[in-house]
Structure 1
Amino acid sequence: MTTRVLAVADSDSYLKWGAATLDGLRDAGLSGRLVLVASPVLPSQAQVGAALAATGPPPAVLRVGGLVRRLRQDPPDVLLVACTGPTARVVLALAGRVRPRPVTVVGLPGWALPASVEAVGLRRGADLFVAHSRAERAAFEPVVRRLSPGTRVVLSRLPFLAGAGTHEPDGARRRVGRVVFAPQALVPASRPERERLLDGLVAVAAAGYEVVVKLRGRAAERQTHDERWPFDELAAARPGGAPGLRFETGPLAAWLGPTSALVTVSSTAALEALAGGVPVALLDDFGVRDELINTAFRGSGLLVGLADLPAVLAAGGPVADPGWLDAHGLHREPSELPDALRTAAGAATGAGAPALRGPADLRALARLIAPAGVARPVRRR
């Protein structure tokens, strides 16, 4: 009998991860459906289109009550909880009341080092936690053992990474003409740092490169993490603007052509580019520390300062260390997830996640019951 998977997502990045993970499971012989649960971070139609560029039609949007009815009337064998932390907490608790209880799978939709205690705590009680690299698995396993001892950590490459993930040899290095900058909502955090980054990108454009700032969304669109200082708004507020910079949306892959390089501080976009053989530069002007989510890039060969960026790009861009790539998500081993699900399906007889109780749980539930934009924002790691 085919194992049936229901994937539930709630925001732009989790939708992208959930849809691509589900596609990989279908390729492995499992069947699946994808739904969105209505929340304050529900992606716009444009964000849904970008997230599902290669994965089919838009999913249905369910209120939390509709999701509960769906789980009770047609319980899946597997529930893939592709949601921000508070929503994942609610969905896991609701799934624990379904009989037969589905096997529950959780994960984070991108670069997840250093391991987050909060992220694991909000997903406590899941059956499987997906790690996307050997380094992530080594970092998350002790946290999962402590906070959610019944959860197994399984290894699976990020599902939207292409190819085997190795750079071209030095003799075949490309000429860089376009520089794609991948912003992050939380990194760097302050306005002066983000202004400084804009200045650096303007200098790259002045050196003769086409510079595209690939936004995750426009001003009115919600993201997985709230962005206090969006780069397009900062550029518009500057007296001289940001000459030479283009601000675009849509799938990242659409901007990574054969003469492109990617620049970021610590975005998962770095792995997407590396998997396609695109040169990547990780900016270290703001430090290398856990708060910037970039400590794991030490030893990668990719850390570059803004001032040095034009010269590095002129030489074809940085070359990643092969051993670092293999440990940090561009390994060649097949995913452990399909076999883990086939083994676990039908065996999830326990209670699963703890019942919802306490103020934080009630706030998490309220933000799903209230209309989008009314519930008070909460942390969403």
Structure 2
Amino acid sequence: MPSRTSQAPRVAVLADSDTRWKWGALTARRIAEDEAELTGFLLRGRATPTARQLAEVGVDADELREVTGVEFLHATRDEGYDLVVLALVGGAVQAMLHGLAALRLPRRPVLVTGYVGVVYEKLADGLLLRHGADVVLANSRHDADRFRAVYEGVGADASSVTEAALPFLGGAPYARQEGRDTVVFAVQPSVPESRADRTYLLRRLVEHARLHPSREVLLKLRSKPGEHTTHLEEVPYQKLADRLPGGLPPNFSLVYGHMGEVLDRTDLLVTVSSTAALEALHRRIPTAVLTDLGVREALGNHHFLGSGLLTSWDRLDGGHRPEPDEEWLARQGVAADGAYETAFEEARKRVAELLSQPELPPVTPYYTPATAPGYLPGILARHRLAADGTPLAGAAPAAEVTGVRRVVRDAVRGAARGAYRHGVQRVAPVIRRMGEL
């Protein structure tokens, strides 16, 4: 890939959770040269991944450090990256775009962003918050069409939308093994949200295990209690499992680990709307999307309309195995037909063209103080930026703390993050229940 220097491009990825780090780092690897130097930045916040989560993701960088948004902007200015992947929630992407624009760099980096999985909610809001990046990646032809329609609908430039695919699809095609019968339920941190709904799904999974004692039934968990991923998990399945009447059958297990490794032993993947369904479908693993709680936008399973995958626990208990619709698969970027290796060619070509230009145009997001004066300032302020994208007073990073002071600082930050998570997972639900009395 051409670069503005004679060396391989310097690439930075800024991510705010374990799943977005996985998406961002793998995307960078897909669209940059293999020998490109990759620096990872973890945005400090409620979902900053733990060492365990990073190890489970299994994606390395030449350097990885935790920063605030302002510290990242200063690093971009001082360290001279050629390509920056913003693997963040929409508001953080918008803040970094305005912050980078305010730097007025003589040679700014190419800016890439996108989504970590299925886009089933806040389509317009999330997309317009990402507008201004040079490349807005769509994980499928279906998403690319929707993205362009949103931008064109508000009169914004849609040329940044670039069709690609999820960067973490892969693994060996499914082959049924004699004597193996494994069902995996892939949980989601926030879908469904209520304790009653999550308890229902867990109960049905356990009942399925009891109905089929020779079948191995696995509950695939995203994080341990106290950890956060892309979304908050107020009611962890681990705690629900501990309190389930009658306990757990011997053929039922809770598992962590890399999703690809779990799929290596899966004969049926069951979920409400997890991106794990797309990973399974890419490998032709039998997949089921549950309708037990309804087909609703809030659950995200409406995304699978027309897929042929929608079914219920009653039908699965009786032996039903959904058959995916091939046309739906093709439009969703699953690439089960073997086209995955070419899925990133358009993105590579576009990034290469941008890197070959001696100068890039200014960053021009759709949202400005003129187009969204009641919305944009609040988004920027959450990342300690003023309305013009410059750091607020007192937000500039101080000299790097070392020695004992750094140990104390990190301990305080860890305690504060733990207190926040305790408040979210323990205190807030109690307050809400009291308010319902």
TM-score bracket, normalised by the shorter chain, equals 0.7 to 0.9
Aligned to 2:402: none
**Secondary structure class of the residue paired with 1:359:** helix
Alignment of 1:11-160 (within 5 A): 11-27=17-33, 31-51=37-57, 53=58, 55=60, 59-98=64-103, 99=105, 100-113=107-120, 116-146=123-153, 149-151=156-158, 152-160=160-168
**2:38 and 2:62 in contact (8 A); partners too:** no
Task: Report the alpha carbon displacement of residue 114 of structure 1 after superposing the two structures with TM.
Answer: 5.5
Match status 1:4 vs 2:13? no
Aligned to 2:303: 296
2:347 to 327, 337, 356: 337
CA distance in structure 2 between the aligned counterparts of 1:364 and 1:65, rounded to whole angstroms = 7
Task: Report the alpha carbon displacement of residue 365 of structure 1 after superposing the two structures with TM.
Answer: 3.5
Task: Report the alpha carbon displacement of residue 249 of structure 1 after superposing the two structures with TM.
Answer: 1.6
Q: Which runs of 5+ in 1 are unaligned?
A: none
Alignment of 1:318-329 (within 5 A): 318-329=322-333
Task: Report the alpha carbon displacement of residue 176 of structure 1 after superposing the two structures with TM.
Answer: 5.7
CA distance in structure 1 between the aligned counterparts of 2:242 and 2:151, rounded to whole angstroms = 44
Task: Report the alpha carbon displacement of residue 35 of structure 1 after superposing the two structures with TM.
Answer: 2.1
Deviations 1:171-192 (A, max 9, x none): x798761111111122122222
**Secondary structure class of the residue paired with 2:298:** helix
Aligned to 1:229: 235
**1:7 and 1:79 in contact (8 A); partners too:** yes
CA distance in structure 1 between the aligned counterparts of 2:92 and 2:301, rounded to whole angstroms = 26
Q: Which runs of 5+ in 2 are unaligned?
A: 370-375, 386-390, 396-411, 425-437
Aligned to 1:273: 280
Query: Are the structure 2 counterparts of residues 57 and 106 from structure 1 closer, same or farther at C-alpha, using a change threshold of 3 Å?
Result: same
CA distance in structure 2 between the aligned counterparts of 1:360 and 1:196, rounded to whole angstroms = 37
Deviations 1:66-94 (A, max 9, x none): 31221111232221101122322222222
Aligned to 2:208: 204
**2:184 and 2:266 in contact (8 A); partners too:** no
CA distance in structure 2 between the aligned counterparts of 1:78 and 1:37, rounded to whole angstroms = 17
Task: Work out which of the two has the higher radius of gyration on C-alpha atoms and give 1 or 2.
Answer: 2
Q: Which amino acid aligns with 2:204?
A: G
Deviations 1:105-149 (A, max 9, x none): 110101113661121132232221100011111122111334582
Query: Are the structure 2 counterparts of residues 29 and 319 from structure 1 closer, same or farther at C-alpha, using a change threshold of 3 Å?
Result: farther
Deviates more, 1:199-208 or 1:1-10: 1-10
**2:15 and 2:24 in contact (8 A); partners too:** yes
Query: Are the structure 2 counterparts of residues 351 and 20 from structure 1 closer, same or farther at C-alpha, using a change threshold of 3 Å?
Result: closer
CA distance in structure 2 between the aligned counterparts of 1:76 and 1:342, rounded to whole angstroms = 14
TM-score (norm 2): 0.76
Aligned to 2:433: none
**1:9 and 1:37 in contact (8 A); partners too:** yes
Among the aligned pairs, what percent are the same residue?
Answer: 31
**1:157 and 1:329 in contact (8 A); partners too:** yes
Task: Report the alpha carbon displacement of residue 97 of structure 1 after superposing the two structures with TM.
Answer: 2.3
TM-score (norm 1): 0.86
Query: Are the structure 2 counterparts of residues 351 and 153 from structure 1 closer, same or farther at C-alpha, using a change threshold of 3 Å?
Result: closer
CA distance in structure 1 between the aligned counterparts of 2:39 and 2:30, rounded to whole angstroms = 12
Deviates more, 1:352-361 or 1:232-241: 352-361
Where does structure 1 differ by over 6 angstroms across 4 or more consecutive aligned residues?
172-175, 374-378
**Secondary structure class of the residue paired with 1:59:** strand
**Secondary structure class of the residue paired with 1:286:** coil
Larger relative contact order (Cα-Cα within 8 Å, sequence gap ≥ 6)? 1
CA distance in structure 2 between the aligned counterparts of 1:174 and 1:129, rounded to whole angstroms = 44
CA distance in structure 2 between the aligned counterparts of 1:27 and 1:301, rounded to whole angstroms = 38
Alignment of 1:250-261 (within 5 A): 250-261=257-268
Q: Which amino acid aligns with 1:307?
A: D
Task: Report the alpha carbon displacement of residue 25 of structure 1 after superposing the two structures with TM.
Answer: 2.1
Task: Report the alpha carbon displacement of residue 29 of structure 1 after superposing the two structures with TM.
Answer: 7.1
**Secondary structure class of the residue paired with 2:102:** coil
